[in-house]
Structure 1
Amino acid sequence: MNIIISTLNAKYIHTSLSIRYLKAYAQPEYDAQLAEYTIKDPIMNIVGDLYSKKPDVIGFSCYIWNIEETMKVVAMLKKINPELVIILGGPEVTYDVHDWLDQIPGADFIVIGEGEVTFKDLLSEIEGEHNYKKVSGIAYRQDGKKVIQPQNGKVDLKSLPSPYRLEEDRNEISKRVTYIETSRGCPFSCQFCLSSIEVGVRYFDREKIKEDIRYLMDNGARTIKFVDRTFNISRSYAMEMFRFLIDEHQPGVVFQFEITADIMRPEVIQFLNDHAPA
């Protein structure tokens, strides 16, 4: 089964962390190919390139910045090859899946919520017995009716393999922005933000994250952006990571964080002023 996991980034220098998680978790049973494009690429070029790879299954990671272009790509691919199985996932289609099934008739499945376990389970059923009732966290159509199966619990983040050490990325790390995730979820309930729907914050294994950061710096990463919703929600955790990054910092490497400023304690600000590079 030839599997491609794709997305349309906002710019060439961006990398998609989500599709790398999917590939890493699907291995070794499924060796998916990554295919990244940008929203500025001509739609025909994207469709032509994907078609040339002769896929049986394509998964697309959908966000607010790429959903319109992704819908066009899906429609064209399905017209060229109706047998192609198309899976959509990501925050833009995770909510209101009932409506997205109407809006994107070319999508065979929509993955709801965290995708790693669900995507692999779904691949197993596509390849095997097609018993999709066994897969939690998907939406699809059956006999003209919509079927929506909610996620069965959250992913154990400490069990996820590293998405930062894929062989095809080895020579690309220095050319693009590297995104890294040390937690999922958010404690706040801001009405404008999808993250408020998920309750609580869960953390990845700290030592594995540190090893991944060392690996990325040693292999040429220059801009590392943390995608945690609120990096400093736990002061002790933020301080531990700040100390680690300062101690291990390599010249020319820039770290970026999303923080909540009004909970920054004076001693944390003082510590950064005294010890962090400019």
Structure 2
Amino acid sequence: MKLLWLDLNSSYAHSSLALPALHAQIANNTDIEWCTVSATINENTGSVVNQIYRHQPDIIAATNWLFNHEQLLHIVSRAKALLPHCCVILGGPEFLGDNEAFLYKNKFVSGVFRGEGEEVFPLWLKVWNQPRKEWKSITGLCYLDESEAYHDNGLARVMNFSELVPPEESRFFNWSKPFVQLETTRGCFNTCAFCVSGGEKPVRTLSLEATLKRLDVIHQHGIKNVRVLDRTFNYNNKRAKELLNLFREYPDICFHLEIHPALLSDELKQELATLPKGLLHLEAGIQSLRENVLEQSRRIGKLSDALAGLKYLCSLENMETHADLIAGLPLYHLSEIFDDVRTLAEYGAGEIQLESLKLLPGTEMKRRADELGIQYSPLPPYEVLQTREITVDELQTAHYLSRLLDGFYNTPTWRSITRILILENPHFIHELLDHLVQTDVIDTPLSLEKED
């Protein structure tokens, strides 16, 4: 049986862990002939389809993400037309919600997996070409049977996370990218209504010994940047401190972490302050500096603690801390977003990232959209279009503000002067934004760093 994995990414800098993570579990199965076609969403559709066709696979498998959704369907629908005998199986975050309408609309897809695939995908491969009644036992699989009745086998969770074969052991693990990704935990303790991980319970962990072994392999390959995929690195301060001590052993690697500023213990603060310069790059999840907004979003952690923690992180000179805000969250007004940007500049955040809320499949906020007064795009990327608190025009202004921040504050050449101007003049951001909009500059590439 020939299995073709379509590795479709948004750019060549990115690489999905799905293929090596799944392949590693069944790499010794000689009944499966693996092949891959790698592409980006910007490549010619016909060229990618032609590559698939030349392989003549029995199965086409792929991960469906927010940003490859449309192009992926363009490709696999054409491949299925050319290879009608082929079985198309998909997984990924796009299928964490209700999949019935998707399967009826896209009948060239044989089935989709909801949840984590390392344990259940190998089970499906044993019955993939058998009558659909044999698919009933595969947890997480959603499909139409021979009579086109919809079947939903729930949600797949890997409970023996620590027992999985590491993706780095797969021959498909890509060591050529600017960074690699590493999970030391899976799942999230938090309950954020806008996040696909809000319902991922329990948190499952990798032992320190296993983490050390994997870091050794990563280091031996000369990797300089590791993105730790743990949803909240410091959900357990004791474990976070132990991991930081491991990271100390690799001073030539920069570790990118997502950290919750409200959950910093004094002991962890002291540990962070003593780390070598450049060892860590922090993304501080803050989303909003408004208590009512965070409560509506069901984000755990007191705002006062989050602000104190963020201020501390931004004061550390041995690492850079980026902070993020989300426009379109329920109860969040545009005027508050402008004020929060100014506060983050006052704290000295290394970057201020302003994104628009996306109502992702499987999230509580998508299920409650009508109740919360949220209007959003029914197509990827499912961006919020309007709420009770922020209008269509105001969300466009928030988009322009995000562009301004990326072009000025988040550009090292201009960061210091931009921060000074923001703090000295409360109207500076508004005035600069008005100028950029009126001169039609705001939606053109702001490659200002190259102009020094």
Q: Normalising to structure 2: TM-score of the pair?
A: 0.57
Q: Does 1:161 align with 2:189?
A: no
Alignment of 1:114-193 (within 5 A): 114-127=116-129, 131-142=134-145, 143-151=147-155, 154-169=158-173, 172-193=174-195
Between 57-66 and 264-273, report the one with greater CA deviation. Answer: 264-273
Matches within 5 A, 1:245-264: 245-246=247-248, 248-251=249-252, 253-264=253-264
Aligned equivalent of 1:80, options 49, 74, 82: 82
> Quick check: 223-232 or 205-214, which moved more?
205-214
In structure 1, how many angstroms separate the alpha carbons of the residues matched to 2:33 and 2:178? 23
Aligned counterparts of 1:18 and 1:168: Cα–Cα separation in 2: 10
Q: Is the 1:157–1:205 Cα contact (8 Å) retained in structure 2?
A: no
Q: Which amino acid in 1 is paired with 2:184?
A: T
Matched residue SS, 1:197: coil
Residues 64-113 of structure 1 deviation map (CA, whole Å, 9 limit, x = unaligned): 11111111112111111111100010111232111221232211011121
Taking the aligned partners of 1:181 and 1:31, their CA distance within structure 2 comes to 27
Residue 93 (str. 1) matches residue 95 (str. 2): yes
Instruction: Check 1:127–1:210 CA distance in 2 against 1; reply closer, same or farther (3 A cut).
Output: farther
The alpha-carbon distance between structure 1 residues 140 and 129, as it changes in their structure 2 partners (threshold 3 A), is closer
- How far off is 1:231 after superposition? 1.1
The percent of aligned pairs where both chains have the same amino acid is 26
User: Per-residue deviation at 1:17?
Assistant: 0.9
CA–CA distance in structure 2, aligned partners of residues 112 and 193 of structure 1? 16
Conserved in 1, the CA contact under 8 Å of 2:118 and 2:158? no
2:64–2:93 CA contact under 8 A, matched in 1: yes
Bigger Cα displacement from structure 2, 27-36 vs 60-69: 27-36
Q: Which moved more, 1:79-88 or 1:42-51?
A: 42-51
Aligned to 2:13: 13
Alignment equivalent of 1:210, drawn from 212, 220, 225: 212
RMSD value, Cα: 1.9
Contact 2:14 2:177 (8 Å CA) reproduced: no
Is there any run of 5+ residues in structure 1 with no aligned partner, and where? none
Instruction: Read off the aligned partner of 2:169 and give its amino acid letter.
Output: R
Find the counterpart in structure 2 of residue 3 from structure 1: 3
Q: Is the 8 A contact 2:4 2:59 kept in 1?
A: yes
The match for 2:43 is: 41
Q: Once the two structures are superposed, what CA deviation does each residue of 1:102-146 show, in whole Å capped at 9, x if it has no partner? A: 232211011121111211111110256762223222111111111
Q: Which moved more, 1:150-159 or 1:220-229?
A: 150-159
Structure 1 residues 67 and 183, CA gap change in structure 2 (3 angstroms)? same
Q: In 1, are the aligned partners of 2:56 and 2:83 still within 8 Å (CA)?
A: no
- Cα pair distance change 1:9/1:275, threshold 3 Å: same
Q: Find the counterpart in structure 1 of residue 233 from structure 2.
A: 231
Describe the shift of the 1:52–1:157 C-alpha distance in structure 2 as closer, same or farther (beyond 3 A): same
How far is 1:270 from its partner? Answer: 2.6
Q: Structure 1 residues 64 and 168, CA, compared in 2 at 3 Å: closer, same or farther?
A: closer
Counterpart position of 1:59: 61
Cα separation, 1, equivalents of 2:156 and 2:75? 30
Q: Distance in 2 between matches of 1:34 and 1:237?
A: 37
Structure 2: state its 5+ residue gaps: 279-452
Secondary structure of 1:33's partner? strand
